[in-house]
């Protein structure tokens, strides 16, 4: 009987223990979930409903997560007795397994407590807690964008952005060691951002590297870190607006692009704006020539360079991309006329002044004529009404 009692007790305790303790080390702790998966129970035991919600774990979500093979205790050590203390136990940090990522994060802007208002972003800010997912698994670029957008709403890509949902924020900005845009030697500094673009746009990258913009960048001895406001030789993002990176076929791209070129090439943009080409572009034409149609985009050279689309040898051929039947002489059109520059284009200069004088002369004389007539009639009507005449 004693034995029977002892055995029964042993088996009973074992069964109870088997339900609780051993399971703590097993795949997704059934026994933890017995309490932590039962929201009703948690609500009864916590005064604060928010605290109850925080203590809740969905078994399904956890099993589906990339940590689904781990047990609760792999992260939450020191909770292996029941009832367990509510606080005072260290939760295992992610760094215990993900050392490289943690080191990267520690040097990142997200770990800069001063800059982050003492809060800081931790692993779980992006990866979640019990539903932690693997990047490139269920954690798609769009998912990542959503998570970044929680704080970086203003920098979220627009719907016109070609990269939206195709590559995530981290492709250009990096992930764990994410830096400042105007930062130091981290991934997003001016030169490195080019390398990120290069990963996909090799051809454009090569062309740019050899053209006049690329040469300017190569010769640039700009300080690192780059200070805001300093003029930087053009890189990809100078012309292709980050976060609003429209396709070159997009109706607004060319007119935006023209404005962009004009920020450095002020005179050229101003004079081109006096032509049909650019004005039609500004009004939404997608066939009128903009800067890049004549000068090229990733392979731009000064017009005295034989490689230039605007060189003497290539110019007519470039015109012909739109004006198919153009013949010699056509290329003498001045796409950047400056009516104030007599030496450069005398005919434009003289016709500009002739038409301005005609405008001022005709309107000046006849607006005065009109005004004088009006006054005359007014005076006559006043005289008539004084005399009590007709009307």
Taking the CA atoms of 72, 78, 81 and 85 in sequence, report the sign of the dihedral they define. Answer: negative
CB of 305 to other proteins, least distance (A): 21
Cβ proximity to other proteins: between 22 and 378 the closer is: 378
Q: Token pair 């450095």 is at which residue? A: 264
DSSP SS3 for 123: helix
Cβ proximity to other proteins: between 277 and 298 the closer is: 277
Cβ proximity to other proteins: between 209 and 251 the closer is: 251
Q: In terms of DSSP H, where are the helices of 58-178?
A: 59-64, 72-75, 99-106, 123-127, 141-149, 169-173
C-beta separation of 199 from 174 below 8 A: no
Cβ proximity to other proteins: between 150 and 340 the closer is: 340
CB of 328 to other proteins, least distance (A): 9
C-beta separation of 208 from 298 below 8 A: yes
CB of 352 to other proteins, least distance (A): 5
Segment (H or E) for 351: helix 346-387
Cβ proximity to other proteins: between 12 and 378 the closer is: 378
Cβ proximity to other proteins: between 28 and 258 the closer is: 258
CB of 279 to other proteins, least distance (A): 5
State the Cα–Cα distance between residues 269 and 104, nearest whole angstrom.
44
For helices 202-210 and 190-198, what crossing angle results, to 10°?
Answer: 140
CB of 317 to other proteins, least distance (A): 14
Cβ proximity to other proteins: between 199 and 327 the closer is: 327
CB of 345 to other proteins, least distance (A): 6
Cβ proximity to other proteins: between 58 and 285 the closer is: 285
CB of 362 to other proteins, least distance (A): 6
Q: CB within 8 A of 247, min separation 6: which ones?
A: 162, 253
For every residue of 273-322, DSSP letters joined together read: TTSHHHHHHHTT-SSS--HHHHH-SSS---TTSTTSTTSTTTHHHHHHTT
Binding site for other proteins (CB under 8 A): 273-276, 279-280, 282-285, 287-288, 323-327, 329-334, 337, 339, 345, 347-348, 351-352, 355-356, 358-359, 362-363, 366-367, 369-370, 372-379, 381
CB of 310 to other proteins, least distance (A): 14
State the Cα–Cα distance between residues 57 and 70, nearest whole angstrom.
14
State the Cα–Cα distance between residues 384 and 381, nearest whole angstrom.
5
State the Cα–Cα distance between residues 66 and 135, nearest whole angstrom.
10
DSSP SS3 for 205: helix
CB of 212 to other proteins, least distance (A): 25
State the Cα–Cα distance between residues 312 and 299, nearest whole angstrom.
17
C-beta separation of 255 from 214 below 8 A: no
Cβ proximity to other proteins: between 52 and 280 the closer is: 280
């Amino acid at each position: 009987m004693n034995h029977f009692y002892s055995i029964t007790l042993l088996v009973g305790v074992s069964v109870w223990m088997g339900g609780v303790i051993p399971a703590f080390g097993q795949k997704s702790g059934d026994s933890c979930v017995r309490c932590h998966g039962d929201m009703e129970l948690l609500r009864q035991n916590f005064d604060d409903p928010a605290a109850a919600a925080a203590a809740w774990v969905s078994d399904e979500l956890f099993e589906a997560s990339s940590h689904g093979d781990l047990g609760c205790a792999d992260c939450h050590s020191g909770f292996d007795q029941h009832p367990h203390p509510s606080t005072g136990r260290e939760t295992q940090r992610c760094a215990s397994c993900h050392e490289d990522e943690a080191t990267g994060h520690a040097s990142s802007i997200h770990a800069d407590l001063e800059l982050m208002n003492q809060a800081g972003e931790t692993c779980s800010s992006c990866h979640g807690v019990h539903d932690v997912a693997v990047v490139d698994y269920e954690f798609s670029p769009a998912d990542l964008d959503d998570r970044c957008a929680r704080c970086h709403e203003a920098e979220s890509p627009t719907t016109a952005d070609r990269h939206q949902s195709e590559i995530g924020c981290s492709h250009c900005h990096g992930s764990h060691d994410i830096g400042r845009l105007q930062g130091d030697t981290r991934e997003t500094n001016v030169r490195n951002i080019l390398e990120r673009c290069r990963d996909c746009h090799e051809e454009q990258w090569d062309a740019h590297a050899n053209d006049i913009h690329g040469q300017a960048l190569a010769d640039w001895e700009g300080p690192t870190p780059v200070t805001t406001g300093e003029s930087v030789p053009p890189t990809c993002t100078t012309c292709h607006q980050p976060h609003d990176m429209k396709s070159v076929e997009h109706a607004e791209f060319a007119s935006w692009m023209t404005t962009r070129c004009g920020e450095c090439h002020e005179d050229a943009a101003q004079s081109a704006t006096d032509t049909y080409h650019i004005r039609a572009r500004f009004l939404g034409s997608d066939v009128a020539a903009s800067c890049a149609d004549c000068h090229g985009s990733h392979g731009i050279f000064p017009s005295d360079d034989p490689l230039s689309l605007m060189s003497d040898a290539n110019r007519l051929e470039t015109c012909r991309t739109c004006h198919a039947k153009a013949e010699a002489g056509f290329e003498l059109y001045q796409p950047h006329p400056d009516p104030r520059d007599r030496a450069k284009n005398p005919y434009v200069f003289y016709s500009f002044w002739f038409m301005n004088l005609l405008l001022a002369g005709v309107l000046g004389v006849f607006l005065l004529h009109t005004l004088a007539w009006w006054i005359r009639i007014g005076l006559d009507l006043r005289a008539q009404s004084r005399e009590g005449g007709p009307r």
